[in-house]
Amino acid sequence: NSEVFRGPYISVITNRTTNLLIRGTMLFGVGVFLALVLNLLQVQRNVTLFPPDVISSIFSSAWWVPPCCGTASALIGLLYPCIDRRLGEPHKLKREWSSVMRCVAVFVGINHASAKVDFANNVQLSLTLAALSVGLWWTFDRSRSGFGLGVAIALLATLATQLLVYNGVFQYTSPDFLYIRSWLPCIFFAGVITMGNIGRQLALYECKVVQEKIHQD
C-alpha cells in the first residue's frame, strides 16, 4: 500500500513548493495593485507628500512603495493560513471568493473614507476608522489569531512608517500622532485582515486541488 501511495504524495509535496510560489506571486501582485490605487487616493487628497524628485510615476507614488506593500502582502497572505494550521483554529466563516471580494471592497472603502470624507476632527476620524476596521474583522474573519496578527503587524507597520517620516522619506500634511496620522494603524489593521483573507482563500483552493489529485491518483 505504501508503494501505491508514495508516488502521489511525492508529487503533492513537490507541487506544494510550486503552489507556495504561485500564491506568493499572486499576493504580491494584489498588494502592488492595491498600493498603487490607494496611494493615488492619498496623494490626490494631499494626505501624503513625497519630495518632487521622488514622484516619478503616473501614479504619483514613490517607486519603492508598491514593491514594499507587495512583499508585505505576500508574507501576510502566506502567514495567515500557516498560523491557522499551527494553532488548530480553522476559519469558521464560510469561505467564498465573493466574500473575499466584498472584504477587498470594504477595505478600499475605508481607505477612501480616510482620504475623501471630511470629519470634524482627527479624533472623530480615527474612532470611525477604528470601528470600521474592527467591523471588517468581525464580518470577514472573527478569528482570535487573525485579530492578534492584525494588531501586531499594524503596530509594526506604524512604527516603520514613523521611522520613514522621521528620516524625511515622505511626510503627512497634518500629522497629529508622532509625525503621522492617528488613523494610520486602523488602515494597516484593515489591510492585514484583507490580505489574510485572500491568503486563506488561495490556500483553501490549493488544498482542494491537492485532495482531488490524491483521489485521482
Exposed/middle/buried for residue 45 (C-beta within 10 Å: 0-12, 13-18, 19+): middle
* Residue 4 scores a pLDDT above 80: no
Please, what's the b/e burial string for 141-168 (b: 16 or more CB within 10 A of its CB; e: otherwise)? Answer: bebebbbebbeebbeebbeebbebbeee
* Residue 5 scores a pLDDT above 50: no
DSSP readout, 176-196? -BTTB-TTHHHHHHHHHHHHH
pLDDT confidence band for 217 (50 / 70 / 90): low
Tell me the whole-structure pTM to 2 decimals. 0.78
pLDDT confidence band for 148 (50 / 70 / 90): very high
Ordered alpha helix ranges (H), 45-143: 65-87, 97-116, 122-140
* Residue 60 scores a pLDDT above 80: no
Question: How far, CA to CA in Å, does 156 sit from each of 64, 95, 105, 152, 153?
Answer: 18, 28, 24, 6, 5
End-to-end, the C-alpha distance of the chain in Å comes to 13
Residues pairing with 48 in the sheet = 172
Rounded Cα–Cα distance for residues 169 and 49 (Å) = 10
Note whether 133 and 183 are within 8 A (CB).
no
* Residue 101 scores a pLDDT above 90: yes
* Residue 100 scores a pLDDT above 80: yes
How do the residues of the chain divide into helix, strand and coil, expressed in percent and rounded to 5? 75, 5, 25
Rounded Cα–Cα distance for residues 84 and 102 (Å) = 22
Rounded Cα–Cα distance for residues 164 and 27 (Å) = 24
* Residue 165 scores a pLDDT above 50: yes
Q: Pick the residue with more confidence: 4 or 178?
A: 178
Closest to 140 (Cα-Cα) out of 99, 101, 107, 108: 99
Closest to 63 (Cα-Cα) out of 53, 54, 51, 73: 54
Closest to 199 (Cα-Cα) out of 191, 188, 187: 191
**Stretch among 24-28, 123-127, 135-139, 213-217 having the lowest mean pLDDT:** 213-217
Note whether 136 and 194 are within 8 A (CB).
yes
